[in-house]
A and B are shown apart, each in its own frame.
Chain A
Amino acid sequence: MSAEAISAIVSSTGTSSSTAAMSNDPHNDAPERRATPGATAQLLRVQTREFVRERRGFFTSLILPLGLSALFLGMAVLLPSPASGGGFDETVMAIVVFLTVSTAPLSATAASLADARARGTLRLLGTTPVGRARLVLTHVPARLGLVLAQLALLIGVGAALGFVPVAQAPAMLGVALLGVALFGSIGYLLGGLLPTAETAWNVSTLVQLVPFFLSGLIPMLSLLPDPVENTLSVVPTFFFADLLIGLGSSGESTHPVWLSVAVVAGTAALIAALAVRLFRWDQGEER
Chain B
Amino acid sequence: MIPPPQSLAKMESQCHRGIMTPANHPPAPDRTPGDDPTHPPANATDTDLAVEIRGFVKRYTPRKGEPTTAVDRLDLHVEHGSIHGLLGPNGAGKTTTIETLVGLRAPTAGTVRVLGVDPRADRDHIRRAVAVQPQHAAVFNHQTVAELLRAWASFHPEPDDPDAVIERMGLTASRDVRVHRLSGGQRQRLLVGTALVSRPLLLVLDEPSTGLDPNAREDLWEAVRAYRADGGTVLLSTHSMEEAAALCDRISVLDHGRVAAEGTAESLIEEHAPGGTLADVFRTVTTRAAEGGEEAA
B127 touches A127 (CB 8 A): yes
CA distance A269 to B10 in the complex (A): 44
Interface segment, one of A29-37, A86-94, A101-109, A176-184: A29-37
Would A28 and B9 be within 8 Å (CB), given that A10-B122, A282-B104 are in contact?
Answer: yes
Asked whether, in the complex, the Cβ of B13 is within 8 Å of the Cβ of A124, the reply is no
| A10-B116, A39-B154, A128-B127 known; A30-B12 Cβ under 8 A | yes
Q: Are B7 and A6 within 8 A (Cβ)?
A: yes
**Residues in chain A near residue B130, CB distance under 8 A:** 127
Q: Are A35 and B156 in contact (CB under 8 A)?
A: yes
Cα A39 to Cα B198 in complex, Å, equals 13
Q: How far is the CA of A41 from the CA of B154 in the complex (A)?
A: 9
Complex interface residues of chain B between 95 and 139 (CB less than 8 A to chain A): 102-106, 115-117, 122, 124-125, 127-132, 134, 136-139
* B74 → chain A closest CB, angstroms: 18
B139 touches A121 (CB 8 A): yes
Question: In the complex, what residue of chain A is closest to B106 when comparing beta carbons?
Answer: A286
Q: Are A27 and B138 in contact (CB under 8 A)?
A: no
Contact B125 A127 (CB under 8 A): no
Q: How far is the CB of B197 from chain A (nearest CB, A)?
A: 11
Interface size class of B (residues with CB under 8 A): 35 or more
Assess A14 versus B125: contact at CB under 8 Å? Given A31-B13, A46-B140. Answer: yes
Total residue contacts A-B, CB cutoff 8 A: 153
Q: Mark B5-33, 1 if CB is under 8 A from A, else 0.
A: 11111101100100000000000000000
Q: Which residues of B contact A11 (CB under 8 A)?
A: 117, 122, 125
Q: Is the CB of A28 within 8 A of B137?
A: no
Answer whether residue A129 sits at the interface, using C-beta atoms and an 8 A cutoff.
yes
A90→B16 CA distance, assembly (Å): 65
Chain B residues with CB under 8 A of A35: 154-156
Q: Are B102 and A127 in contact (CB under 8 A)?
A: yes
Binary contact readout B155-197 vs A (1 if CB under 8 angstroms, 0 otherwise): 1111000000000000000000010000000000001001000
A127 near B132 (CB under 8 angstroms)?
yes
Stretch at the interface among B142-150, B208-216, B253-261: B142-150
Taking a contact as CB atoms under 8 Å apart, the answer to whether B152 and A128 are in contact is yes
Asked if B75 is at the interface of the complex by the 8 Å CB criterion, the answer is no
Given A50-B143, A124-B137, A28–B124 Cβ distance below 8 Å? no
Instruction: Tell me the smallest distance from the CB of A119 to a CB of chain B, in Å.
Output: 4
Task: Check: B292 CB closer than 8 A to any chain A CB.
Answer: no
Instruction: Report which of A7, A14, A25, A42 forms a contact with B154, defined as CB distance below 8 A.
Output: A42
Q: Which single member of B47, B131, B143 contacts A3 (CB below 8 Å)?
A: B47
Asked if residues A120 and B142 are in contact (CB atoms below 8 Å), the reply is no
The A interface, classified by DSSP as helix, strand, loop or mixed, is: loop
Cβ proximity bits A39-54 to B, threshold 8 Å, 1 near / 0 not = 1011101100110011
* Chain A CB within 8 A of B90 CB: no
Q: Which of B5, B104, B136 contacts A1 (CB 8 A)?
A: B5
Given A7-B117, A120-B134: A39 touches B155 (CB 8 Å cut-off)? yes
**Is A285 on the interface with B (CB-CB < 8 A)?**
yes
CB distance from B183 to the nearest CB of A (A): 17
The answer to whether A129 and B122 touch (CB under 8 A), given A9-B7, A42-B151, A124-B194, is: no
B141 contacts the other chain (CB 8 A): yes
Give chain A's interface residue range (CB within 8 Å of chain B): 35 or more
Q: Using Cβ atoms and an 8 Å threshold, which residues of chain A touch B154? A: 35-36, 38-39, 41-43
Q: A10-B122, A11-B122, A11-B125 are in contact. Are A30 and B141 (CB under 8 A)?
A: no
Alpha-carbon separation in the docked complex, A121 to B137 (Å): 6
B57 CB, nearest partner CB in chain A, Å:
15
A164 to chain B, nearest CB (A): 37
Asked if A43 meets B137 with Cβ closer than 8 Å, knowing A1-B7, A3-B45, the reply is no
B4 at the A/B interface (Cβ < 8 Å)?
Answer: yes
Q: A22 in the interface, Cβ–Cβ < 8 Å?
A: yes
* Beta-carbon contact of A33 and B128 below 8 Å: yes
A126 interface residue per 8 A CB criterion: yes
A13 interface residue (CB < 8 Å to B): yes
Pair A10/B117 contact, Cβ less than 8 Å: yes
Q: Shortest Cβ distance from A24 into chain B, in angstroms?
A: 12
User: Which residues on B are within 8 Å of A, measured CB to CB?
Assistant: 4-10, 12-13, 16, 45-47, 102-106, 115-117, 122, 124-125, 127-132, 134, 136-143, 147-148, 150-152, 154-158, 178, 191, 194, 198
**16 pairs, CB–CB < 8 Å, chain A vs chain B:** A1-B47, A9-B9, A10-B125, A30-B9, A30-B10, A31-B157, A31-B158, A34-B157, A35-B154, A38-B154, A43-B151, A43-B155, A54-B141, A54-B142, A123-B137, A129-B127
Q: A9-B9, A22-B9, A50-B141 are in contact. List 12 more A-B contacts (CB 8 A).
A: A10-B117, A10-B125, A11-B125, A33-B129, A41-B154, A50-B142, A50-B143, A54-B141, A116-B140, A120-B136, A129-B156, A286-B106
* In the A-B complex, the 6 residue pairs with the closest CB atoms: A3-B46, A33-B128, A53-B142, A120-B137, A30-B9, A42-B154
